């Protein structure tokens, strides 16, 4: 599925609905993302800004809209109190590079289009948390660390295994107090 393509997203939601066969969807993880490593203020252009925003911010928004009925169903069918990933949750994979407060610490890598798109994703997460709370859906942004992937390169700090294990151990501890926040792969809060 291409998260830049709205009809591909609605088609995917229909496929998932069919597979669930009347049940709800507990967990939506928006992981797809793109990154232009060379995008400084001198080199970034409109096309890169729009393309990156479409994938990193608009895609997760459309995904949540399309899967919302299934997430709501999971929350309604759950007997659990409060908010949790085992009830119904939207997890947006974001980055510390989208934190406005933390930007001076890493601005040696400007990556303008990526930062701006992920700051938008962080704002989206807060808006989703405030809107979907009454439907029983937890909404959290997670930073996976600097990870050895195609995006992170082999110079990165963490293996995929370490990052993913960390993220998977954070999911079960998330509750309503975390909804609308940005946390790292160890569960530590990152300021917006």
Q: Which residues bind ligand NAP (CB under 6 A)?
A: 1-4, 31-34, 55, 93, 95, 143-144, 146-147, 149-152, 156
Q: In this chain, which residue has its C-beta nearest to ligand NAP?
A: 33
CA distance 40 to 112: 6
Task: Look at residues 167, 181, 95, 77 and name the one whose alpha carbon lies nearest to residue 138.
Answer: 181
- State in angstroms the smallest separation of the CB of 88 from ligand NAP: 21
What lies within 8 Å, CB to CB, of 147 at 6+ separation is 156, 157, 158, 159, 160, 163
- State in angstroms the smallest separation of the CB of 41 from ligand NAP: 20
Between residues 84 and 95, which has the closer beta carbon with respect to ligand NAP? 95
Pairing assessment for the beta strands 27-30 and 138-143 based on DSSP bridges? unpaired
- State in angstroms the smallest separation of the CB of 103 from ligand NAP: 14
CA distance 177 to 32: 26
Phi, psi of 39 (to 5 degrees): -80, 90
Between residues 2 and 77, which has the closer beta carbon with respect to ligand NAP? 2
Between residues 2 and 105, which has the closer beta carbon with respect to ligand NAP? 2
Between residues 163 and 179, which has the closer beta carbon with respect to ligand NAP? 163
């Amino acid at each position: 599925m291409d998260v830049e393509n709205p009809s591909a997203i609605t088609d995917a939601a229909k496929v998932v609905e069919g597979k669930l066969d009347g049940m709800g969807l507990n967990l939506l993880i928006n992981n797809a993302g793109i990154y232009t490593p060379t995008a400084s203020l001198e080199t970034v252009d409109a096309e890169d800004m729009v393309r990156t925003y479409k994938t990193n911010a608009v895609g997760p928004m459309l995904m949540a809209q399309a899967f919302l009925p299934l997430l709501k169903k999971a929350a309604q069918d759950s007997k659990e109190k409060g908010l949790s990933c085992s009830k119904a949750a939207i997890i947006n994979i974001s980055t510390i590079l989208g934190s406005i407060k933390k930007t001076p610490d890493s601005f040696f890598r400007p990556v303008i289009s990526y930062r701006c798109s992920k700051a938008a994703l962080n704002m989206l997460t807060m808006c989703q948390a405030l809107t979907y709370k009454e439907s029983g859906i937890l909404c959290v942004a997670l930073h996976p660390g600097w990870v050895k992937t195609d995006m992170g390169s082999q110079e990165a700090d963490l293996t995929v295994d370490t990052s993913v294990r960390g993220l998977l151990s954070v999911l079960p501890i998330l509750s309503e107090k975390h909804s609308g926040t940005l946390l790292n792969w160890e569960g530590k809060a990152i300021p917006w």
